[in-house]
Structure 1
Amino acid sequence: MAAHFSLILVLVTLATGLIWLLDVRVLKPKRMAKLEAAKAQGEVSEEAALKLTQEPSIVETSRSIFPVIAFVLVLRSFLWEPFQIPSGSMMPTLLVGDFILVEKFSYGVKDPVFRHKFIKTGEPERGDIAVFKYPVDTRIDYIKRIVGLPGDTIRYRNKQLWIKPACSDGENCPDFQLITRAEVNRDEFFQGPYPLTRYTEQLGDIEHDILVNTHRPDPVSMYYQVDGIPRGDFVVPQGYYFGIGDNRDNSTDSRFWGFISDDNLVGKAVAIWISFEFARDEQDWLPTWVPTGVRFERVGGLT
């Protein structure tokens, strides 16, 4: 749907801009020439002059909406785009009902239709919260935390995340490093009847919270299989990244479907601009999609 909207936005911008340009360069001069010709033949009333110079309704509409549509196109395609969080895979960092701003130029400037990168502005860093096109179906936008960079080896076993950074020096390369974490609580979030353990995790310079279901075994048999290495280990290819949800046992991410191509990156999530709470059930007289409250305390930057 997002891709269709981008295409529609581009087409409407082009159409209204071309109509306005055609009027400025061709149609308006013709109307003014008719007015001058009428004046040469005699006095022309104000009403007749207005009728001769009046622009067609399609031109008037195009002239009115083109600047607005063009501004929205530039803002949404190259600067910032709003997204809604539809699931709990990034809890506790992002909750269902959060509306976030994604910085589109963080990982390069791309055209809004074919998504070809024509200006390089930066690359994902470890710990970034990135929005990208779901590799299995690029019509869908996904959001995960980047934990693996090109050349890294990622290991996820027994609810623990290990990272072996990319290294070109075969003799002095570091071994796997356990990502440290500290328990926060066990009774704030639940998955069914099971309480989720909340940890604060240190991922490079980024400190953030994650959720782990200690009652659920890791579904290792479902992990993405990389030839030649054990399940649960992932060697990130060049030009790709490894993303994982903060809600570790309720997230379909790179552990299951593989790596995120640089071509599929949309941008970096930088802020929550509004957050709605949805607590209605089907018996309420209002639809369930109508918010029950606003979580103003969640508005702000992301880590």
Structure 2
Amino acid sequence: MSALTGVLYAALVAYLGGWYVGRWSGNFALLLFVLTSVTMLYWLAERFHFAPARRAAAQNLVDNDAKRRETLAAQGISRVDGDIEPARQQLLQQPWWLDWTAGLFPVILVVFLLRSFVAEPFKIPSGSMVPTLLVGDLILVNKFHYGIRLPVINKRIIANNDVKRGDVMVFRYPEDTSTDFIKRVAAIPGDEVSYLNQKLYINGQAAPVQPQGNFYDEDARVYRQRFLEKLGDKEHQILVQPDALRMFRPDRADGPFPFQENCRYTVEGVTCKVPAGHYFMLGDNRDNSRDSRFWGFVPDENIVGKAFMVWMNFGNLKRVFTFFD
């Protein structure tokens, strides 16, 4: 078993190493599920086989020592050398391969349950959600806000709150579901959404905006115009760059996106009818975000959760414990 455990740890290190250097895409949810399952098997084996066997061996040592002493006492020998306690403790000691598997199971199980059903941490890698989220923000995502989903396969089994316009949502990227993206929900099923001449329209009504002055984008090292936009009952800040006018067109790497026929692309922008069970996503940094305008709708089965808090940013500690909608 020690050799098998060594092989498993070597495979884990190789997998994580290849993931870190970019040799392959990692699926942390699947990895955590496998680790939980494997350590659970070791824990069960320890509880019902290995631990009882060690206790039985230790008790056998004690019983044999007692019989030996009884035999010697019957022969008139009352003083017997030899302390078996160190040997008994050695028999009871858990080997390293159980300590590093069965011993870790409770910790890994708690992490797995918390990450799967309560909250999951994410890191913001790009500036598409500036100014709401900055590059380097470490955020928490509420995993049960939209309902309880089975780990790994992400199938919803219990419904909760509906997705609302203005929610900041983490989802599996439609072009590569092994990658998680974060954007703002601009439109929900049944909406007609338009982004024309750098203005957002929902069902023919322009989303209200108020100028907020300029914002210095530290990542891009440029000033952008900042506005307060309202989607539904939520207000949030967005950035617009007037000199970035361009014609949007679908550029999904794997070809036309599902329900692409629901969208019309013109020199002014794009207009889409959101199909049932899908959502139209936009970045708050409107002219520096590749989102539903380019790769289409996000299906309900891709939802990961609702982002709600920045819990750390090592480059900007003022961001710690920042809550957002």
Q: TM-score range by the shorter chain?
A: 0.7 to 0.9
RMSD: 2.4
- Once the two structures are superposed, what CA deviation does each residue of 1:141-192 show, in whole Å capped at 9, x if it has no partner? 111000111111101101111111xxxxxxxxxxx21111011113634897
- Once the two structures are superposed, what CA deviation does each residue of 1:14-47 show, in whole Å capped at 9, x if it has no partner? 2222112112112222333333444443428212
- Once the two structures are superposed, what CA deviation does each residue of 1:44-85 show, in whole Å capped at 9, x if it has no partner? 821232233333322223343111111111111211111111
| Structure showing the higher helix proportion among its residues | 2
Secondary structure in structure 1 of the residue aligned to 2:183: strand
Moved more, 78-87 or 47-56: 47-56
1:47 is matched with 86
Is 1:262 aligned to residue 284 of structure 2? no
2:54 is matched with 31
200 and 265 in structure 1: CA distance in 2 versus 1, 3 angstrom threshold: same
Normalising by the residue count of structure 1, what TM-score does the alignment of the two structures yield? 0.83
Secondary structure in structure 1 of the residue aligned to 2:229: strand
Is 1:18 aligned to residue 46 of structure 2? no
Aligned residues between the structures: 276
1:299 is matched with 321
142 and 30 in structure 1: CA distance in 2 versus 1, 3 angstrom threshold: same
Secondary structure in structure 1 of the residue aligned to 2:189: coil
1:68 is matched with 107
2:309 is matched with 271
Among 221, 227, 236, the residue aligned to 1:199: 227
Moved more, 25-34 or 179-188: 25-34
AA aligned opposite 1:185: G
Secondary structure in structure 2 of the residue aligned to 1:249: helix
AA aligned opposite 1:21: L
Is 1:214 aligned to residue 242 of structure 2? yes
Secondary structure in structure 2 of the residue aligned to 1:230: strand
Q: Distance in 1 between matches of 2:175 and 2:304?
A: 15
295 and 31 in structure 1: CA distance in 2 versus 1, 3 angstrom threshold: closer
Q: Which has the larger radius of gyration?
A: 2
Secondary structure in structure 1 of the residue aligned to 2:86: helix
2:167 is matched with 128
- Once the two structures are superposed, what CA deviation does each residue of 1:56-115 show, in whole Å capped at 9, x if it has no partner? 322223343111111111111211111111111111111112111111112222232222
Give the percent of matched residue pairs that are identical in Structure 1 and Structure 2: 39
Among 97, 100, 108, the residue aligned to 1:58: 97
2:264 is matched with 230
Q: Distance in 1 between matches of 2:48 and 2:157?
A: 31
Moved more, 188-197 or 132-141: 188-197
The alpha carbon displacement at 1:219 in A equals 1.8
- Once the two structures are superposed, what CA deviation does each residue of 1:206-250 show, in whole Å capped at 9, x if it has no partner? 011111111122323458784266321111111111110111111
24 and 134 in structure 1: CA distance in 2 versus 1, 3 angstrom threshold: same
* Equivalent pair of 1:191/1:213 in contact (CA under 8 Å): no
The alpha carbon displacement at 1:6 in A equals 1.9
1:188 is matched with 216
Q: Distance in 1 between matches of 2:125 and 2:93?
A: 49
1:291 is matched with none
Among 273, 282, 286, the residue aligned to 1:248: 286
The alpha carbon displacement at 1:194 in A equals 6.8
* Equivalent pair of 1:162/1:177 in contact (CA under 8 Å): yes
213 and 67 in structure 1: CA distance in 2 versus 1, 3 angstrom threshold: same
* Equivalent pair of 1:275/1:299 in contact (CA under 8 Å): no
Among 144, 149, 158, the residue aligned to 2:188: 149
Structure 2: tracts of 5 or more residues without a match: 1-18, 20-24, 67-82, 252-256
Secondary structure in structure 2 of the residue aligned to 1:64: helix
AA aligned opposite 2:324: L
